[in-house]
Amino acid sequence: MLISNLMDILGTAAFAISGALAAFQKRLDIFGVLIITFATAIGGGTIRDVIIGNTPVSWMKDQQTISVIFGSYLLSLFFRKQLQYFPRKLAIFDAIGLGFATIVGVQKGLQVQLSPSICVALGMITGCFGGVLRDVILNEIPLVFRADIYASASLLGGALYVICLHIPLPPDTASTLAVATVVGIRLAAMQFKWNLPEV
Amino acid sequence: MLISNLMDILGTAAFAISGALAAFQKRLDIFGVLIITFATAIGGGTIRDVIIGNTPVSWMKDQQTISVIFGSYLLSLFFRKQLQYFPRKLAIFDAIGLGFATIVGVQKGLQVQLSPSICVALGMITGCFGGVLRDVILNEIPLVFRADIYASASLLGGALYVICLHIPLPPDTASTLAVATVVGIRLAAMQFKWNLPEV
Amino acid sequence: MLISNLMDILGTAAFAISGALAAFQKRLDIFGVLIITFATAIGGGTIRDVIIGNTPVSWMKDQQTISVIFGSYLLSLFFRKQLQYFPRKLAIFDAIGLGFATIVGVQKGLQVQLSPSICVALGMITGCFGGVLRDVILNEIPLVFRADIYASASLLGGALYVICLHIPLPPDTASTLAVATVVGIRLAAMQFKWNLPEV
């Protein structure tokens, strides 16, 4: 539980920092950066909660998420220059964030009795749409639609999770396997420059 | 019922294909095209369901919509080149999609006892905001705000539907008349190059 | 009550007019301008209602808001040229709108028992996200993230409101003080060209 919570915090923080780093490129004021940081970190979960009707949305009922994001924002501001020197470590956090967000998204869908394929889609929305929101607000075509394997890793991990629960494996085993799959595929895709074909 | 369902499928498919065609222009990977295809086809209904509180939103409870969109996506990918040669036939499907989406939107509003003018607005949101979402994600000013008569056709058809129900005409007659009006105005606008004045 | 309602109308109208003025720059047709006008005026409240689960969202249940926005739209169209000559008066209305929207947003959050800091965030979302939506649809990086003190004024006013209620001051005193604070900070920021630092 402690480790799971720690990973969750790391995931949220990584998403937040990726938002702050993107905002730094755009000459926003410090408040604009704060909003982009929040939108990136909570965007996916917010869209998920809104379309399944889980309102007020999760971050409104949870002081920890807010604190983690705000802390990440302050860290990003103060260590702005240093952050540029370890993009790879950030990418590892981001992959962990993607893995956890995906599984949480699938779980929320299962809780409201949605069909398995919809739950997998919901996992992907949770994992990816914070980044989509960040890019749309910053007036870019979303990176996730152009970058190497990202949303696909989320879909595969989500599908694996649903299959594992169906076997059934114990929930903890299923989620560990699924998170590891998302993180593994994502990191391998970056390492070996896997890409989906362009059309 | 069979015909209405067939038309519904054609409408969804046409919206999906228009999304895929727009995404092809943007050098996305095959997954990015898939997301744009979905966003275009279900965006309007999703926004409608979210603002009236009909959650989980419709497509999450309905396997047919998902299957139709996914099929349209595959068709668009495989017949990409051929699709360019019949833009007019696509536009006819798209007009039919607009007609059906509009009336479905108005009906959903009436079901939750919203006032007639709000229901007409809801019909327009259902018909047009998938395209708005598509264009916003693809970093374009929404076509629907610039193109020839489109949203206006939806508003007129929605208003006619509400009036017909108020007379009262039988619901089936009302919806047939209204869909025909939307499709007719839309196609006439394209044929005769009607435009709203720019400001 | 009469004065509060009058101010509410002025606030909504100012938001609507600012939307119309932004849309005029983009060569949209008259319908596109109408949609941008609506999105600017009701966007913040819509996002607020959706994330707290207050659906159907407020403007769907309230004929006055719709009428005020539509009237503002017509005024903007007819007096388009003249509006350019008094941007400062418009900015005063807009600041009043920001003040009222902020306090209404905080109140809605308190009604559903959200924590004080979340309520302050909700006030800011209500006040600012109509403008964010306007800019995202018009394909601009949101002004609110770049301009002089705007969202910050909303946050300060919202925080003051929560503190005043906690003392406790009477609700009317608290909201009057808070609205005055938002408007005062916003106008002072424009007058003296206060800006948050860029990063």
pLDDT tens string A34-44:
988 999 999 99
Which stretch, B16-25, C136-145, C154-163, has highest mean pLDDT?
A: C154-163
- Find how far residue C85's CA is from the centre of its chain: 22
Separation of alpha carbons A5 and A8, rounded Å: 5
pLDDT in tens, B124-177: 999 999 888 888 888 888 877 766 688 899 999 999 999 999 999 998 899 999
Q: What local confidence, expressed as pLDDT, does residue A108 receive?
A: 92
What would the mean pLDDT of B27-32 be, rounded to a whole number?
A: 83
Which is more confident, A84 or B173?
B173
Neighbours of chain A (3+ CB pairs under 8 A): B, C
Tell me how close the Cα of A8 comes to any Cα of chain C, in angstroms: 21
Q: What local confidence, expressed as pLDDT, does residue A18 receive?
A: 85
User: Which two three-digit tokens encode residue C46?
Assistant: 């819509």
Q: What local confidence, expressed as pLDDT, does residue A155 receive?
A: 93
Q: What local confidence, expressed as pLDDT, does residue B147 receive?
A: 65
Among A50-64, A144-158, A172-186, C30-44, the range scoring the smallest mean pLDDT is A144-158
What would the mean pLDDT of A152-166 be, rounded to a whole number?
A: 95
Separation of alpha carbons B63 and A116, rounded Å: 11
Separation of alpha carbons A10 and A6, rounded Å: 6
Taking CA–CA distances from C145, the nearest residue in chain A reads A32
Do residues B166 and C50 make contact, with C-beta atoms less than 8 angstroms apart?
no
Do residues B137 and B39 make contact, with C-beta atoms less than 8 angstroms apart?
yes
Separation of alpha carbons C176 and C120, rounded Å: 16
Q: What local confidence, expressed as pLDDT, does residue A4 receive?
A: 64
Which is more confident, C85 or B20?
B20
Which residues of chain A does B80 touch, with a Cβ-Cβ cutoff of 8 Å?
199
What would the mean pLDDT of A151-159 be, rounded to a whole number?
A: 94
Quick check: A152 pLDDT over 60? yes
User: Which two three-digit tokens encode residue C158?
Assistant: 């919202």
Quick check: A1 pLDDT over 60? no
Q: Domain for residue A186, yes or no?
A: yes
Q: What local confidence, expressed as pLDDT, does residue A193 receive?
A: 82
Whether B25 has its CB under 8 Å from any CB of chain A: the answer is: no
Quick check: B109 pLDDT over 60? yes
Which residues of chain B does A136 touch, with a Cβ-Cβ cutoff of 8 Å?
136-137, 139
What would the mean pLDDT of B28-32 be, rounded to a whole number?
A: 84
Q: What local confidence, expressed as pLDDT, does residue C3 receive?
A: 61
Q: Domain for residue C53, yes or no?
A: yes
Q: Domain for residue B198, yes or no?
A: no
Average pLDDT of every residue of chain B: 87
Which residues of chain B does C55 touch, with a Cβ-Cβ cutoff of 8 Å?
50-53
Q: Do A66 and C112 touch (CB under 8 A)?
A: no
**Cis omega (within 30 of 0) on the bond before C56?**
yes
Quick check: A129 pLDDT over 70? yes
Q: What local confidence, expressed as pLDDT, does residue A2 receive?
A: 59
Whether C57 has its CB under 8 Å from any CB of chain B: the answer is: yes
Q: Domain for residue B197, yes or no?
A: no
Per-residue pLDDT band at B194 (split at 50, 70, 90): confident
- Find how far residue C183's CA is from the centre of its chain: 11
Q: Do B33 and A117 touch (CB under 8 A)?
A: no
Q: Do C137 and B139 touch (CB under 8 A)?
A: no
Per-residue pLDDT band at B2 (split at 50, 70, 90): low
Do residues B154 and B102 make contact, with C-beta atoms less than 8 angstroms apart?
yes
Which stretch, A11-15, B81-85, C52-56, C160-164, has highest mean pLDDT?
A: C160-164
Per-residue pLDDT band at A197 (split at 50, 70, 90): confident
Q: What local confidence, expressed as pLDDT, does residue B148 receive?
A: 66
**Residue C112, domain extent:** 2-192
Tell me how close the Cα of C184 comes to any Cα of chain A, in angstroms: 19
Phi, psi of B193 (to 5 degrees): 55, 45
Separation of alpha carbons A76 and A33, rounded Å: 10
Taking CA–CA distances from B45, the nearest residue in chain A reads A51
Quick check: A3 pLDDT over 70? no
* Bridge partners of residue A29, in order along the sequence: C198
Q: What local confidence, expressed as pLDDT, does residue C54 receive?
A: 92
Q: What local confidence, expressed as pLDDT, does residue B180 receive?
A: 94
* Nearest CB partner across the interface for C31, out of B52, B122, B152: B152
Which residues of chain A does B36 touch, with a Cβ-Cβ cutoff of 8 Å?
145
Q: What local confidence, expressed as pLDDT, does residue C153 receive?
A: 93
Q: What local confidence, expressed as pLDDT, does residue C147 receive?
A: 65
Quick check: C1 pLDDT over 70? no
Quick check: C2 pLDDT over 80? no
Q: Which residues contact B114 (CB under 8 A, 6 or more apart)?
A: B52, B122, C56, C60, C61
Q: What local confidence, expressed as pLDDT, does residue C91 receive?
A: 77
User: Which two three-digit tokens encode residue B184?
Assistant: 């007719």
Among A179-188, C4-13, C105-114, C170-179, the range scoring the smallest mean pLDDT is C4-13
State what percent of residues in chain C have pLDDT above 70.
Answer: 94
Mutate to test the interface with B, among C30, C33, C35 (most CBs of B within 10 A): C35
Quick check: C116 pLDDT over 60? yes
What would the mean pLDDT of B115-119 be, rounded to a whole number?
A: 93
Q: Domain for residue C123, yes or no?
A: yes
Q: Do C53 and B53 touch (CB under 8 A)?
A: yes
pLDDT in tens, C51-108: 999 989 989 988 889 999 999 999 999 988 887 777 677 778 788 889 989 999 999 9
What would the mean pLDDT of B48-61 be, rounded to a whole number?
A: 92
Among A95-104, B127-136, B140-149, C159-168, the range scoring the smallest mean pLDDT is B140-149
Which residues of chain A does C109 touch, with a Cβ-Cβ cutoff of 8 Å?
60
Taking Cα atoms as reference points, which of A106, A122, A125, A105 lies closest to residue A166?
A: A106
Q: Do C29 and B196 touch (CB under 8 A)?
A: yes
The Cα-based distances of A23 to A39, A40, B163, C145, C155 in angstroms read 11, 10, 49, 10, 20
Whether A136 has its CB under 8 Å from any CB of chain C: the answer is: yes
Quick check: A69 pLDDT over 90? yes
Average pLDDT of every residue of chain C: 87
* Nearest CB partner across the interface for C199, out of A28, A55, A56: A28
Separation of alpha carbons C137 and A115, rounded Å: 33
Q: Which residues contact B68 (CB under 8 A, 6 or more apart)?
A: B9, B12, B13, B16
Q: Domain for residue B120, yes or no?
A: yes
pLDDT in tens, C12-24: 888 898 888 888 8
Mutate to test the interface with A, among B31, B38, B46, B84 (most CBs of A within 10 A): B31
Domain total for chain B? 1
Q: Do A51 and B31 touch (CB under 8 A)?
A: no
Taking CA–CA distances from C138, the nearest residue in chain A reads A139
Which is more confident, A134 or B159?
B159
State what percent of residues in chain B have pLDDT above 70.
Answer: 94
Q: Give residues 69 to 108 of B whose Cβ lies within 8 Å of A.
A: 77, 80
Quick check: B95 pLDDT over 90? no
Q: What local confidence, expressed as pLDDT, does residue C74 receive?
A: 95
Q: Side chain identity at A115, as an amino acid letter?
A: S
Say how many CB pairs under 8 Å bridge B and C. 73
The Cα-based distances of B73 to B16, B18, B70, B76, C40 in angstroms read 7, 10, 5, 5, 33
Tell me how close the Cα of B158 comes to any Cα of chain A, in angstroms: 25
Separation of alpha carbons A110 and A101, rounded Å: 14
